[in-house]
Amino acid sequence: MHTENTKQYVINGIKISFPLTPYKSQMLMMEKITATLKKPNQNALLESPTGTGKSLAILCSIVGWINAERDRRRNEPNKKQKADTSINFSQEAVVDVSDDGVIDSSDGEEDKKDLCVYVATRTHRQIKQLVDEFKRLDQKVPMAVLGSRKHLCVNKKVNKKESLDEDCNAMRKKRECTYLFNVSKVVDKINTMPAHDIEDIYRVGKDCNGCPYYASKELHDNAEIVFLPYNYILEELLKAGKESIETVVIFDEAHNIEDVCRSVGSLEITSKEFMILNKDLSTTKKALATLFIDDKTSIDGIHSECEYIEKTFGVLTSKLFKTCATRDFTDCSFKGDSMIAFLAEAGLDEESNRERLVHFTADTIPRIEKKIVETKSKIAKISLRSQGIIEKLYKTLARIFTNTSLIDGKDAYSMVLAKREIRDKHETNLSITLACLFPALIFRELEQRTRNIILTSGTLAPMDTFASELGASFCVDLEAPHVVALDQIHTATVPQGPTKMELNGVYRNAITDDYQSEIALSVYEIAKKVPFGVLCFFPSYAAIQKTIRKMKDTGIYSKIGEIKEIIEEPKSGGGRVFDKAIAQYYTAIDKARTFYDTSKTMPKKNGSLMLAVYRGKVSEGLDFIDDNARCVICVGIPYPAYKDPLVSDKIEFNKKMTRKLGLLDGYVWYEAQAYKALNQALGRCIRHSEDWGAVLLLDARLAAKKTENLKISKWAKKEVKKESSFAEAMASLERFIASGMQRPRTAQKKFVPPLPTSSDESDGEENFENKKGMKGQKKLSFKAGRQNYPR
């Protein structure tokens, strides 16, 4: 049991203050983290189950190490302070540096920071959870939180617009945004607080009439620990032109870091974006004569550059439309020489032509923008989105045309042409994707710019993919034990349903009425046995809809509705739609719990049933504590969509490169992706040392495997029950629930929706922009809700 007394420990020679009595798993985490940080160029891979206090252990270790490292550097005799190489997220740092790289300290900045720890996670909600833990620490170090304009802009004139980034930059350059004049007020107010999160800085910005976005940038300059999203840190680190040996990066919830690296190394351009880019260039050409009066040389030069960009993207667009023109077109891919030939038609095989892309964004566009400001012109600029596409195309092509000792760039990529029907808008969207198949290309670039990288998560299993896929050595690793006793977890494989039909979720079975009926009936029977909250995960949104239709056809839906509020995870609609669904789920549970705790009897409608998808928002980062998840039902095995070229090309790549690069075989990799998603879902169940819950794996394929061969998280498979029938499974579940309900009831917080910010999209990695306004990197990995084609 934890006690609210700060404890002092010395771990690997580092003094660490811990606000509670730590669990064994927390001590192991702190030992591994400090051991990693004491040695430069060392990486770690650390798994500690959800509910074991992982975040607190991470933060206490970081703060202890920062304080120790700062003291060590300060006391070094004849120490030369290196130029600050930490990543700059705002404007370019202006530093007076002498020839030998030593900062001129005559300006009084002898204590300028020379190390920074970046703690990156997937969503703003997860960042808030980390900062809440940071607030509990006895020791503090200067901190900052970075987020996108979507979440931080308080200017009502622009914060609802899609063109927020462009409008913000334009108003800043013209000094038209009054909130910029009060940035220092926001910074001063935040500096009086021991810690702050995105909501705090947004609230202070509104109160002070100051800009939270640029205040966060200024706070970053002096921070020694910075909380921020994955994509933000990856994009900015990879922009850095030199190594940053004073930078430590910790990726929390790092189970999908391979996907993120592939996405950062990839580029998708849609037909709509091609049209926007063409329109931007056309507008710019027409405006040149007005902007550059009596400067024919500039007009001709810039006009020529615009013509080149237009021609290049025009060829790509023409080939895309020509290839996808047929009615029966299915997604296709080009690899190796065929991909190079495709790019060559647009002249992109020539290095000099590729250099023109980067010159256009780095030199020409700034010249145009400067003239627009000088002339106070109302001419529309080339959008940040278009600029971002051109810049990202250059970077991606640079990787494709770079050969290393390990691999030729062209072999690490495939080009995918896709066609999507947008039914509600009666539109067809075409796209070209340059897909990175080898995430090590990105991770190695990251390694070169950092001192240490630590990957942590509640569910990293199976862990054997990380070293090979990321091309990195993880000298320190850990699979920490859970903090709960074996009798607090009930994990069972269920091979058949109530009518004794085998529950084998391979695609040919999953599309049948019989299978869907059996799943529907199974969920109903489980829902009857489990009070309060039940989470049920499906391989796709389509699978949810088919099951719901079957439930309604057979009357099961209304029967479940009598005992549970049925909630579906929203497929679209943004953060507020999602928050509304979650609030409905929690509210029904709150009502049932209040009734039970007051009357000691269970109401007829005793909670909620959430129908969710693997890899969706429900499966990641949400805290389904105590009664909010007394049971997690896992339907099928969430294999990625096998017929998706992004998946099949990756499988083929791994098969081809197994020996050369030490990668997992393609099908072994494919299976690992399924189990990562499965493990992430079942991790929703146990959230703290007094929690308890059941995990039911509804698939005969899982039931047929030997326990030691099940690739589920170590904590979940310690005592897996191999049920031989559904009746047997229900009997043991009932006994477990009865035992759990005898445990002392724990106080539980009611759901509080997040503070509204300028964006309806209140969560999710897709909302994090880099400096060019690209909304993060379009996620090219295995999306929630795609129909799966398991072997």
| Span 499-534, pLDDT tens digits | 999 999 999 999 999 999 999 999 999 999 999 999
Confidence of residue 439 (pLDDT cuts 50, 70, 90): very high
pLDDT at 562: 97
pLDDT at 753: 53
Q: Where are the alpha helices (DSSP H) in 530-573?
A: 541-554, 556-563
pLDDT higher than threshold 50 for residue 756: no
pLDDT higher than threshold 60 for residue 423: yes
pLDDT higher than threshold 50 for residue 772: no
pLDDT higher than threshold 90 for residue 390: yes
DSSP string, 98-140: -TTSBB-GGGS-TT----EEEEEES-HHHHHHHHHHHTT-SS-
pLDDT higher than threshold 50 for residue 139: yes
Q: What is the mean pLDDT of residues 394-399?
A: 94
pLDDT at 88: 57
Do the beta carbons of residue 409 and residue 399 sit within 8 Å?
Answer: yes
Q: What is the mean pLDDT of residues 467-477?
A: 91
Residue 468 φ/ψ region, left for φ over 0, alpha for ψ in the -120 to 50 degree band, beta for the rest: alpha
Q: What is the mean pLDDT of residues 80-88?
A: 49
Q: What is the mean pLDDT of residues 194-221?
A: 94
Q: What is the mean pLDDT of residues 384-394?
A: 92
**Segment among 227-231, 238-242, 677-681, 725-729 with least mean pLDDT:** 238-242
Beta-sheet strands, E only, within 344-464: 413-422, 427-436, 452-457
CA pair distance 405, 788, nearest whole angstrom: 36
HEC string for 689-752? CCCCEEEEEECHHHHHCCHHHCCCCCCCCCCCEECCCHHHHHHHHHHHHHHHHCCCCCCCCCCC
Q: What is the mean pLDDT of residues 581-592?
A: 95
Burial 62-74 (b: 16+ CB within 10 A, else e): bbbbbbbbbeeee
pLDDT higher than threshold 70 for residue 765: no
Nearest by Cα to 679 from 484, 526, 463: 463
Give the helix/strand (H/E) hosting 479: strand 474-479
Q: What is the mean pLDDT of residues 420-431?
A: 76
pLDDT higher than threshold 50 for residue 243: no
Confidence of residue 655 (pLDDT cuts 50, 70, 90): very high
pLDDT at 369: 87
pLDDT at 22: 92
Amino acid at 673: Q
pLDDT at 371: 87
Confidence of residue 713 (pLDDT cuts 50, 70, 90): confident
Confidence of residue 767 (pLDDT cuts 50, 70, 90): very low
Contacts of 103 by beta carbon, 8 Å cutoff, 6+ apart: 81, 82, 83, 84, 95, 96, 97, 109, 112
Helix (H, G, I), strand (E, B) or coil at 163: coil
pLDDT higher than threshold 60 for residue 100: no
pLDDT higher than threshold 50 for residue 770: no
pLDDT higher than threshold 60 for residue 701: yes
pLDDT digit string, tens, across residues 13-27: 999 999 989 999 999
| Structure-model confidence comparison of residues 41 and 5, the more confident one | 41
pLDDT at 220: 92
CA pair distance 262, 257, nearest whole angstrom: 9
pLDDT higher than threshold 80 for residue 106: no
pLDDT at 74: 84
Amino acid at 746: T
Confidence of residue 635 (pLDDT cuts 50, 70, 90): very high
Amino acid at 790: P
CA pair distance 513, 553, nearest whole angstrom: 11
pLDDT at 186: 96
Burial 612-643 (b: 16+ CB within 10 A, else e): bbbbbbbbbbbbbbbbbbbbbbbbbbbbbbee
CA 498-499-503 angle, 5° bins: 75
Q: What is the CATH number of domain 486-767?
A: 3.40.50.300
CA pair distance 65, 70, nearest whole angstrom: 8
Predicted structure pTM score = 0.87
pLDDT higher than threshold 80 for residue 395: yes
Contacts of 163 by beta carbon, 8 Å cutoff, 6+ apart: 383
**Segment among 237-241, 510-514, 688-692 with least mean pLDDT:** 237-241
Average pLDDT, the chain: 86
| Structure-model confidence comparison of residues 82 and 685, the more confident one | 685
pLDDT at 325: 81
Q: State the greatest distance between any 2 C-alpha atoms of the chain, in Å, as a whole number.
A: 88
pLDDT at 750: 59
pLDDT higher than threshold 60 for residue 4: no
pLDDT at 685: 85
Contacts of 640 by beta carbon, 8 Å cutoff, 6+ apart: 647, 670, 673, 674, 782, 786, 788
pLDDT at 40: 92
Q: Tell me the β-bridge partners of 608.
A: 533, 565
pLDDT at 87: 56
Confidence of residue 183 (pLDDT cuts 50, 70, 90): very high
pLDDT higher than threshold 80 for residue 547: yes
Nearest by Cα to 9 from 70, 50, 55, 63: 63
CA pair distance 277, 308, nearest whole angstrom: 13
Do the beta carbons of residue 674 and residue 458 sit within 8 Å?
Answer: no
| Structure-model confidence comparison of residues 235 and 459, the more confident one | 459
pLDDT higher than threshold 60 for residue 93: no
pLDDT at 108: 42
CA pair distance 272, 386, nearest whole angstrom: 11
Q: What is the mean pLDDT of residues 125-134?
A: 90
Q: What is the mean pLDDT of residues 718-738?
A: 94
DSSP string, 607-654: EEEEEEETTSSTTSS----GGGGSEEEEES-----TTSHHHHHHHHHH
